[in-house]
Copies of this chain bind each other. A is one copy, B any other.
Amino acid sequence: MAEGRLQATVEVFLKPGVLDVQGKAVEKALHGLGWPGVSDVRVGKTIRFALDPADPAGAEAEVRDMCERLLANTIIESYRVEIA
């Protein structure tokens, strides 16, 4: 059922205000390598997958459900879903 297959992309980032230690480490390293103009570094996750949805019209809602239940920790993380 390759025709019914969708491509989902989920971006998960720490919410603004939550300290991003990985981002801070990358920022410090970039400054050290000679890029002082870099600031506000945030590091997030991107999850990509193929999806053969039960109901194509509800694919985005289905992926949001996956985020709520597994892919994101919604206490500290926000997510963005893209379906193509």
Q: What residues make up the interface of A, taking CB atoms closer than 8 Å to B?
A: 11, 13, 23, 26-27, 29-30, 33, 35, 37-54, 62, 66, 69-71
- Within the oligomer, what is the number of copies of this chain? 2
Closest approach, in angstroms, between the C-beta of A54 and any C-beta of chain B? 7
Q: Are B45 and A43 in contact (CB under 8 A)?
A: yes
Closest approach, in angstroms, between the C-beta of A75 and any C-beta of chain B? 19
Q: Bound complex: CA of A72 vs CA of B59, how far in Å? A: 32
Q: Are A46 and B49 in contact (CB under 8 A)?
A: no
Q: Bound complex: CA of A5 vs CA of B33, how far in Å? A: 19
Q: Are A43 and B47 in contact (CB under 8 A)?
A: yes
Closest approach, in angstroms, between the C-beta of A56 and any C-beta of chain B? 11
